């Protein structure tokens, strides 16, 4: 039986589909702006990469929880 993915990672399939990049691309991109606060990173993804708020927040929240 497969356990359903919950939390921010549940957005990953739709993020990959919508933006055409694997999740590692987004993780690597955020590694360049680790000095920014959570919402600053979210806004950076939105501004620099055209990512929607919910998707950007999910990526940032996932990485910060690790």
Give the pLDDT confidence of 3-44 residue by residue, as tens digits: 788 899 999 999 999 999 999 999 999 999 999 999 999 999
Residue 15's domain comprises 10-65
Whether 28 is covered by a domain: the verdict is yes
Q: What is the pLDDT of residue 24?
A: 97
pLDDT band at 66 (very low <50, low <70, confident <90, very high): confident
- With respect to residue 21, please indicate whether it lies within any of the assigned structural domains: yes
HSE of 5 in the Cβ direction (CA atoms, 13 Å)? 8
17 belongs to a structural domain: yes
pLDDT at 1: 56
**If you average pLDDT over residues 56-64, what whole number do you get?**
97
Domain membership of residue 22 (yes or no) is yes
Q: State how many domains the chain has.
A: 1
Q: Among 45, 58, 50, 60, which Cα is nearest to 12's?
A: 58
pTM over 0.85: yes
Whole-angstrom distance between the N-terminal and C-terminal Cα of the chain? 25
């Amino acid at each position: 039986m497969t356990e359903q993915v919950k939390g921010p990672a549940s957005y990953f399939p739709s993020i990959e589909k919508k933006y055409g990049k694997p999740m590692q691309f987004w993780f690597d991109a955020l590694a360049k702006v680790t000095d920014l606060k959570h919402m600053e990173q979210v806004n950076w993804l939105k501004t620099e990469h055209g990512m929607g708020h919910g998707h950007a927040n999910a990526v940032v929240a996932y990485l910060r929880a690790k």
